[in-house]
Structure 1
Amino acid sequence: MKWLRRCAAAFRFLTILPLPGSFGTTEEDLAGSSLFFPVVGLVLGLIAGACAWVLWRIMPPPVAAVLLTFILFSFSGALHLDGLADSADGLFSARSRERILVIMRDSRIGAMGVIALVMVLALKISALSVLGRDEAVRAALLIPISGRCAIVVMMALLPYVRPEGGLGTLFYSRNVKPAALGGLLLLFAAGFLVLGLPGLVVAGAAMAAVVFFALFCRLKIGGATGDTLGASCELAEAFIVLALAALPVALF
């Protein structure tokens, strides 16, 4: 029952999918839920894959790409896009560590936040729009897995840096490293199953982007915040679809 509550807590936090009652809403449930973040990614990937299968049959690829991108960020109520915007405003502000953390707390979006949002969304849409029907379905399966895997990998690599605490502190527990390992195994296994050996390259490209982002966060603020965890999700999703779009060019 404890594991079911923690799994429910992961779905409640990372998605807007309706769950009945108050199952999985306590702080204890949230604290152990990171182990199930990759599971959330797998479920969302199956839903997104089904959506892509339908969209690429009834819509032109550019329109289908826009709609799929909307579906993908709607899964979380744009929570991770908000983290991306806040992270860009703070990390690219050329301010001190303390000031960066203050900027990232600000609910208003600045110029760098807008630029980051536009670039990531444009990258996803343009890369998806050049994929064929089968490739789009494969991409839709992998995108949510890579994003939720990125969150636990960031947590395993970086400490939480807000001294006053925050929502992100709830998810830092002894489960983080097993969650990161499980997420990586799931991502690379899924990549291999849907793409073969090139799938390992695609998954590796997404995780390499996350590692570089983690190093950048360590340099700028010494660790992670809830915003940078959300940003890592968006970056991993963008890089995995970019790698999928580039794969035919690289191979042929």
Structure 2
Amino acid sequence: MISGYTALYGLVAHPAHHSLSPMIHNLGFKQHQIDARYLVFDSQAQPQNIATAIRTLGVAGVNLSMPYKQSLVPLMDELMPAAQLVGAINTVALQSGKLVGTNTDGDGFWRALQKRYPNLASQQIVMLGAGGAGLAIIEAAARYGVATIQVFKRQNPTYVAVEQRLVTIANHHSMSIVLHDYADEQALQHALITADCVINATNLGMVNTPGLPMAAPLIRQIAPTCLVTDLIYAPRQTAFLQLAAQSGHSTQNGLGMLIEQAALSFQFWTGRVLQTDPIYHALMKEF
């Protein structure tokens, strides 16, 4: 039942209506008997207008996706440490009239990975792409025992800025992060041979962006014991994961990350711990 005291949360993104976040969070509110609802706001408004709307309407918290993860950063009154290092936010809370931004993507990814593969030794990582979610995973990696990350990114206008941010993250966590040009197939092949985990953080493989994040023959160069992961969860198994599975690799899609990052957002907003197993089973049953 919605009352005059029902708290409002939501996702601000474009496109947004395909998102599973409303189901996850509304199940969470039901789980903890919290008088709140989570909606989708499919918006192309200017970032300043989004920030103003959150304050003016008293929206208790929002998640952010494209195109707002980076553009709303300068409009926050406070940034949590991980968000400062990454330069991107996916979660905003309205606290005493102030907008507080954080990023739960990175810890969400590693929590999901450890949940399914608790004995996985992920010291050597190959990261394909370095957008907002990819950078968040890189920043969080040190907290989960990762020693070295080899990042492959296209030579585009953001390359130098990403390189500088990776240096900052590496220095902060005292870890090794090496950035390569995505076109350097020799470097990629060498990195794949010794990797414990390969992460596709590009959009190649999504329903509207078919394709592979690397040439098919390179997938066979991945170390046999290496886990192959994809941040994409629709489709549930991308062409990349299909080829990796055919080569005998263990694989994981992005659904676990989606749920675990949502649980961390939920806790950031409410202080309550979300039980994720029932939500995972509900999503699998629904879809």
TM-score of the superposed pair, with normalisation by structure 2: 0.25
TM-score of the superposed pair, with normalisation by structure 1: 0.27
- Largest Rg, 1 or 2: 2
Higher helix share: 1
Choose between structure 1 and 2 for higher RCO, CA contacts under 8 A separated by at least 6 residues: 1
